[in-house]
């Protein structure tokens, strides 16, 4: 069984936790798309009713609309029952690096508004410590991106301005830039997160701490689940 099929199975397992009447956070990326497609299928056949979704990106919004999933906004609700999303890296404390798809700001806003956050990944995304396998995406103001690049370098990172397919700087849904900062292994994600959060020109970073309740992992040996201790 290939990796794509495994991710599909893991995403669909996460969807089993959705109940009729729930407000659902809809993640961004290939794995989250499997969950969104399954939600649409269950709505269509009547297995789920009265579901509304909160998309974490314009791309997810477009997909959900094409599949006739009813959507709302954070300004119209009091909270989210359950969010299903992917991640670029997961450590053994269930901390994450997210933002490979460029949606880290909205993804974190939605995660913070969620009663439960379920992350679906394949086994290659699991590591002992964050930074083993992935850089930290940092969303920054265009106004000061060079200043923030130098700041990240002063913390020991090698930093690249993310580019779009056309070679121009990648633009987030909120019209900011992303700096991909490689810190190597991050011994204290909380300390690094605090330093990044003190910078006015850094809009958000891709380190997610204490926001995840469950991780569903797809591997050649099947699907396993890790829950928050």
pLDDT at 221: 85
Distance CA 140, CA 208 (A): 17
Q: What is the pTM of this model?
A: 0.95
Q: Summarize pLDDT for 118-138 with one digit per residue, the tens.
A: 999 999 999 999 999 999 999
Res. 7: pLDDT tops 90: no
Positive/negative CA dihedral, 148, 150, 154, 157: positive
pLDDT at 5: 86
Neighbours of 64 (CB within 10 A): 22
Residue 208: closest CA among 90, 68, 72: 90
Catalytic residue among 107, 117, 204, 214: 107
pLDDT band at 1 (very low <50, low <70, confident <90, very high): low
pLDDT at 229: 72
Domains parsed from the chain with CATH numbers: 3-126+209-219 (3.40.50.1360), 136-203 (3.30.70.260)
Q: Summarize pLDDT for 51-82 with one digit per residue, the tens.
A: 999 999 999 999 999 999 999 999 999 999 99
| Residue 107 is among the residues annotated as catalytic for this protein | yes
Contact 56, 25 (CB under 8 A): yes
In the beta sheet, which residues pair with residue 215? Answer: 119, 226
């Amino acid at each position: 069984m290939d990796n794509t099929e495994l991710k599909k199975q893991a995403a669909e397992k996460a969807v089993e936790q959705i109940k009729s009447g729930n407000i659902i956070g809809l993640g961004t990326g290939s794995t989250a798309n499997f969950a969104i497609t399954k939600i649409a299928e269950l709505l269509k056949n009547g297995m789920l009713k009265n579901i509304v979704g909160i998309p974490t990106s314009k791309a997810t919004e477009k997909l959900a609309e094409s599949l006739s999933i009813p959507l709302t906004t954070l300004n119209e609700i009091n909270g989210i029952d359950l969010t299903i999303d992917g991640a670029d890296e997961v450590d053994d404390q269930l901390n994450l690096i997210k933002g490979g798809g460029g949606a880290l700001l909205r993804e974190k806003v939605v995660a913070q508004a969620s009663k439960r956050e379920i992350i679906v990944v394949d086994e290659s995304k699991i590591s002992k410590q964050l930074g083993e396998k992935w850089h930290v995406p940092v969303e920054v103001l265009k106004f000061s991106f060079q200043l923030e690049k130098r700041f990240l370098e002063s913390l020991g990172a090698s930093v690249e301005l993310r580019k779009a397919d056309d070679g121009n700087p990648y633009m987030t849904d909120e019209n900011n830039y992303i700096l991909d900062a490689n810190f190597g292994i991050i011994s204290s994600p909380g300390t690094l997160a605090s330093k990044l959060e003190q910078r006015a020109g850094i809009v958000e970073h891709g380190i997610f701490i204490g926001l995840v309740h469950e991780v569903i992992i797809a591997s050649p040996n099947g699907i396993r689940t890790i829950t928050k201790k």
